[in-house]
Amino acid sequence: MNQTKQAKPILWSFYLSSCSWRVRIALNLKNIDYEYKAVDLLSKKGGDQFNKEFTKLNPKQEVPILLIDNIIFTQSIPIIEYLDSTRKTGLKLLSDDVVKRARSRIIAEVINSGIQPYQNANVIKRINKEMGKEKRIEWLNFYLNKGLTTVETLLKDTKGRYCVGDEISLADLCLVPQVFAAKRYKIDIGNFPLINSIILELDNVSAFHKALPENQPDFLKI
Amino acid sequence: MNQTKQAKPILWSFYLSSCSWRVRIALNLKNIDYEYKAVDLLSKKGGDQFNKEFTKLNPKQEVPILLIDNIIFTQSIPIIEYLDSTRKTGLKLLSDDVVKRARSRIIAEVINSGIQPYQNANVIKRINKEMGKEKRIEWLNFYLNKGLTTVETLLKDTKGRYCVGDEISLADLCLVPQVFAAKRYKIDIGNFPLINSIILELDNVSAFHKALPENQPDFLKI
């Protein structure tokens, strides 16, 4: 990577990827303009993330990747933490209050390491192949309900207008794509009233709206 | 939780739990004395994490839990971030350098959300029951090798004496328990020379030594 000033950050994303979606919301909330590079995780060739060139960028063969400040970053939560540490524009995504910051990170991690890995497209494909459709549904119900129940319980202590008090934070960026995925998998979000009320609040925020799958350039092309 | 000063932090841990192990290393590196509460994840009753009382502490029914500053915290990475933000004793676990900090968090997340969820005891039990022993081995080999290959590739750009430069950081706290787990699952760490050399360096650090499964009060009791 050369050291000349980089014009615009580049985000490698897939419209349906929940981890890419988190970063899209963060970039919007921080008012950072960026170039969108679509990576078709469901391409007919079996997924463009497995291409040789893409694998060089991320050996884990996943989106998102963000090129910013002439550095390639992977992993959505570290990317969001980096954006929040280095960009003073837009909203602050991690509170200066250490307890609020911890609570936001805890909710984010319950989703990031406690739910998302079990609903990842490649994992679901494998479970379906090895166990069949019925067991796949059982698997998804188990991990999604357990994770969302945990989030709902945490919210009893942390919720204000959003996940942690009245400011939007990292936790909200993880919650919205997670709930979207849960609905796709037929989980009844009505069972989680606190989560549901936060989602309704966030529906009104333009940075979240702009980050929706249907508003991405690769939507419908697939 | 009452507001009187709490004498000592309490860690709910299981000697073999890799996420508890990360926090044990952090507490040691920060020179924080703590009380150890063992939670037998493999008890004859099917796991003490499923007890009613424990579930009240953590609805996700997992260790670690840390009670500190009169607050219950779950999720190892947010716990370590909190300790590092609030305690100036001992080593700094997240660099003041924003790029180093991001690199350490990325390696930590590849392990935390990209490997550990797939080798979690409850997941392996389920895979074994539904798919049988051979497929369980295939599953573990796939996720461990993919994750460790990613870490090894990242280390080409970040490694000094430890994962990120010459200072111990969050990434190292995640790497050691992960490599231990990989060896239990018969992964040949010789295939990952950078990881291997860091593990050898960390073997000499007393805070890591003290956090080993064999040095916990619940070791052998099970």
Boundaries of domain holding B54: 10-91+209-215
- A1: in domain: no
A136 plus A75 within the same structural domain: no
- B122: in domain: yes
CA distance A54 to A62: 9
CA B156 to chain centre: 23
B120 plus B25 within the same structural domain: no
Query: In this structure, what CATH number is given to the domain that contains residue A148?
Result: 1.20.1050.10
Contact A207, A29 (CB under 8 A): yes
B198 plus B108 within the same structural domain: yes
Residue B87: list chain A partners with CB under 8 A.
Answer: none
Query: B105-149, pLDDT tens digit by residue?
Result: 999 999 999 999 999 988 999 999 999 999 999 999 999 999 999
- A83: in domain: yes
CA distance A87 to A27: 10
DSSP class of residue B44 equals T
Band (A222; pLDDT cuts 50, 70, 90): very low
Residue A108: list chain B partners with CB under 8 A.
Answer: 78
B58 plus B85 within the same structural domain: yes
Residue A149: list chain B partners with CB under 8 A.
Answer: 59
pLDDT of residue B45: 87
DSSP E strands: which ranges in chain A? 10-13, 35-38, 65-68, 71-74
When mean pLDDT is compared across A88-97, A128-137, B171-180, the lowest value belongs to: A128-137
pLDDT of residue A7: 80
pLDDT of residue A6: 67
Report the pLDDT averaged over residues B51-75.
95
B14 part of contact set with chain A, CB < 8 Å: no
B121 plus B152 within the same structural domain: yes
- A2: in domain: no
B106 plus B200 within the same structural domain: yes
Contact A23, A64 (CB under 8 A): yes
Nearest-CA distance A205 → chain B (Å): 27
- A3: in domain: no
Band (A2; pLDDT cuts 50, 70, 90): very low
Beta-carbon count within 10 A of A130 CB: 16
Report the pLDDT averaged over residues A133-161.
96
B200 plus B151 within the same structural domain: yes
A60 plus A116 within the same structural domain: no
Across the interface, which of B81, B101, B112 has its CB nearest the CB of A102? Answer: B81
Band (B6; pLDDT cuts 50, 70, 90): low
pTM of the model: 0.96
A110 part of contact set with chain B, CB < 8 Å: yes
DSSP sequence for A53-75? HHHHH-TT--S-EEEETTEEEES
B71 plus B107 within the same structural domain: no
Question: Quick check: A212 pLDDT over 80?
Answer: yes
Question: Quick check: B7 pLDDT over 70?
Answer: yes
- A81: in domain: yes
- A146: in domain: yes
pLDDT of residue B54: 93
Question: Quick check: A216 pLDDT over 80?
Answer: yes
B67 plus B131 within the same structural domain: no
Mean pLDDT of chain B: 94
A108 plus A178 within the same structural domain: yes
Band (B222; pLDDT cuts 50, 70, 90): very low
Helix (H) or strand (E) holding B145: helix B133-158
Question: Quick check: B19 pLDDT over 90?
Answer: yes
A102 part of contact set with chain B, CB < 8 Å: yes
Helix (H) or strand (E) holding B11: strand B10-13
B74 plus B157 within the same structural domain: no
Question: Quick check: A164 pLDDT over 90?
Answer: yes
Query: In this structure, what CATH number is given to the domain that contains residue B66?
Result: 3.40.30.10
- B127: in domain: yes
**Which two tokens mark B41?**
């994840």
Instruction: Say which amino acid occupies A107.
Output: I
A124 part of contact set with chain B, CB < 8 Å: no
Question: Quick check: A30 pLDDT over 60?
Answer: yes
Query: A93-112, pLDDT tens digit by residue?
Result: 999 999 999 999 999 999 99
pLDDT of residue B1: 46
A81 part of contact set with chain B, CB < 8 Å: yes
Question: Quick check: A46 pLDDT over 60?
Answer: yes
Residue B117: list chain A partners with CB under 8 A.
Answer: 113-114, 117-118
Question: Quick check: B2 pLDDT over 90?
Answer: no
> How many CA within 13 A on the CB side of residue B74?
22
Report the pLDDT averaged over residues B23-50.
94
In total, how many domains does chain A have?
2
Handedness of CA B140, B171, B81, B217 (dihedral sign): positive
Report the pLDDT averaged over residues A178-183.
97
Report the pLDDT averaged over residues B164-171.
98
Question: Quick check: A44 pLDDT over 90?
Answer: no
